[in-house]
Amino acid sequence: MPDGINVDYDGLIPNNVGLNEDQRVRRALETWHPGYIDWWKDMGPDGFQEALVYLRTAISVDPEGWAKFGYVKMPEYKWGILLAPAVEGRTIPFGAHKGEPAWQEVPGECRAMLRRLLVIQGDTEPASVEQQRHLGRTAPSLYDMRNLFQVNVEEGRHLWAMVYLLQKYFGRDGREEAAALLQRRSGDRDTPRMLGAFNETTPDWLSFFMFTTFTDRDGKMQLGALAQSGFDPLSRTCRFMLTEEAHHMFVGESGVSRIIERTCQAMRQAGITDPTDVERVRALGVIDLPLMQKKINLHFSLTLDLFGNEMSTNAANAFSSGLKGRYHEDQIDDDHVLLGATYPVLRLIDGEIREEQVPALSGLNMRLRDDFVADASVGLRRWNRLIEAAGFEYRLQLPHVAFNRRIGEFAGLKADLGGRILSASAWSAAKASFLPDAADGDYLASLMVPVREPGQYAGWIAPPKWGVDGKPGEFEYVRIEG
């Protein structure tokens, strides 16, 4: 049933791609599987491999009911290969081949480019699991611990999704890439993950929530662009991955919301009217709003780097050849070919940040980054409404796109949060007010004390409004003894 929504759930690898009839790919995946489990045990959640975790597992791609919940030991999780249903008569939505039937096989001239796209996307999935592997030990509640592990197993499934495409469509090259995806390690000096933000550490839960808010949202934008692909198996794969990705951003955004709620509540109880009185706020054992702002500055700027150079021939080629579209390509009202069109891009010209019209094809990374910023702003407004409702004037903000960048036009530029260029000395003087410093890290570390009683929450975070799968807050989301 390669094109149906029915899933063969009984075999080693649940799938709706007809693996039983595809001996070659099935064997390749079964050969890859033990290495994946070894990787999961070595690099997955540290200390909880035997715990029973109340997880959702994808068992269908029917939007009405695609998941089931139940206790699972993570190494026994069913990582399946699931593609969204095929769309009858689908055509290539953009680029030079616009309007032709969508490809079911990889067009010869696109092989190298497509393989690169799959490997880069695939590499981010295990990377984030590695970055988050220590966090289970300091979870502020069983509910949060469960959400962390849910995100982790789904990132594992996303790796499976990319590995399937590599093994199915790229033969020996694909098998080699699939093996290499298990060999690189986040933060490793010799064999790091491919992209910068995926080699950073995630030392505490505020970082985790910021990472899932911002960096998983980069994932959403990339998958959104790949879901438009003229290569139909990639489009279908990404469409289903997006269903899971939404939950990751929910975990991040609601996590930060709960921290804000708790902080505002504690400040009110203590009669603090100035949220920037960091010393007094920290004496209450909650996370001050200025520190949340610094973490936003850090994670937002690291994530912007993932969109690559403002002007990019690779992005132009990926679009023109029909492999990677724009976010919501099918909802944009233009010719979807973009020859002769222009797009405004911020550039550094004569030492000044200025907007310049560039060929729209060259500016596609920028367009995706702008879509990301707009999407991220929505969550920020929600956070600010909580602060406002609690009666405080403080507002969180996204820093300027030129702030703290390592890639593109603004790499290495010393700009402040508003995008004003600073002298080296002004930057050094102000840096500790922009980005978390060692003292901030130590303070957060001091709060990261595990809470493992069902229904109990660490003092720096409010309980969630709702539990998972209709379960109450005091439900035992993780049975640690297994």
193 binds Fe ion, rule: CB under 5 A: no
Is residue 144 at the binding interface for Fe ion, with CB under 5 A as the rule? no
Instruction: Choose the stretch contacting Fe ion; rule: CB under 5 A; options: 22-30, 35-43, 208-216, 439-447.
Output: 208-216
Residue 429 CB neighbour total at 10 angstroms: 11
Q: Is 328 helix (H, G, I), strand (E, B) or coil?
A: coil
Q: Are 64 and 197 in contact (CB under 8 A)?
A: no
Whether 24 contacts 168, CB under 8 Å:
no
Name the one residue in this structure whose structure tokens are 């405080």: 392
Per rule CB under 5 A, is residue 218 in the interface with Fe ion?
Answer: no
Choices 199-207, 238-246, 372-380, 404-412 (CB under 5 A): range interacting with Fe ion? 238-246
**Binding-residue total with Fe ion (CB under 5 A):** 7
Name 291's Cβ contacts closer than 8 Å, sequence gap at least 6. 206, 278, 436, 440, 443, 444
Distance CA 216, CA 210 (A): 9
Span interacting with Fe ion, options 149-157, 397-405, 409-417, 454-462, rule CB under 5 A: 149-157
> Shortest approach of Fe ion to residue 238 CB, angstroms?
10
Cα separation, 204 vs 123, whole angstroms:
23
What CA–CA distance (Å, rounded) separates 251 from 247? Answer: 6
Q: Is 324 in the site for Fe ion (CB under 5 A)?
A: no
Nearer to Fe ion, 371 or 440 (CB): 371
CB 209 within 8 A of CB 287: no
Stretch that binds Fe ion, among 27-35, 125-133, 191-199, 366-374 (CB under 5 A): 125-133
Q: Which CB atom, from 237 or from 321, has the smaller least distance to Fe ion?
A: 237
The piece of 84-92, 162-170, 219-227, 330-338 that touches Fe ion (CB under 5 A) is 219-227
Decide whether 235 or 321 has the Cβ nearer to Fe ion. 235
- In the bound state with Fe ion, the residue whose beta carbon lies nearer, of 130 and 216, is 216
Task: Name which of 222 and 228 has its Cβ closer to Fe ion.
Answer: 222
- Residue 216 Cβ vs Fe ion, minimum distance, rounded to whole Å: 4
Contact 48, 481 (CB under 8 A): no
**Of positions 158, 184, 299, 336, contacts Fe ion by CB under 5 A:** 158
Task: Judge contact between 267 and 392, C-beta under 8 A.
Answer: yes
Q: How many Å apart are CA 271 and CA 265, to the nearest integer?
A: 10
State the minimum distance, in angstroms, from the CB of residue 304 to Fe ion. 17
- Choice between 132 and 320, CB closer to Fe ion: 132
Residue 130 interacting with Fe ion (CB under 5 A) = no
Mark residue 134 as left, alpha or beta (left: phi above 0; alpha: psi -120 to 50; beta: remaining): alpha
Query: How far is it, in rounded angstroms, from Cα 46 to Cα 36?
Result: 16
**Which amino acid belongs to residue 229?**
S
CB of 235 to Fe ion, least distance (A): 16
Residue 259: partners with Cβ closer than 8 Å, 6 or more residues away = 206, 209, 286, 287, 292, 460, 461, 462
**Which of the ranges 209-217, 427-435, 444-452, 474-482 carries the binding residues for Fe ion, by CB under 5 A?**
209-217
Closer residue to Fe ion (CB): 102 or 181: 181
Q: Which residue has the tokens 């390592």?
A: 406
236 lies in the binding site for Fe ion (CB under 5 A): no
CB of 13 to Fe ion, least distance (A): 18
Of the candidate spans 29-37, 166-174, 244-252, 308-316, the one that interacts with Fe ion by CB under 5 A turns out to be: 244-252
**Footprint of Fe ion on 270-289 (CB under 5 A):** none
Shortest reach from residue 201's CB to Fe ion, in Å? 18
How far apart are alpha carbons 292 and 460 in whole angstroms? 12
Question: Is there binding between residue 216 and Fe ion (CB under 5 A)?
Answer: yes
**Closest separation in Å from C-beta 474 to Fe ion:** 28
User: Which position among 97, 248, 262, 336 is part of the footprint of Fe ion (CB under 5 A)?
Assistant: 248
Q: 345 - beta bridge partners? A: 356
DSSP 81-106: B--PPPPTT-B--SSTTTTSBPBSS-
Q: Smaller CB distance to Fe ion: residue 245 or 416?
A: 245
Tell which residue, 33, 292, 23, 335, has the closest CA to residue 160. Answer: 33
Site string for Fe ion, 55-94 (x = CB under 5 A): ----------------------------------------
Which segment (247-255, 266-274, 284-292, 402-410) binds Fe ion by CB under 5 A?
247-255
Interacting residues with Fe ion (CB under 5 A): 125, 155, 158, 216, 219, 245, 248
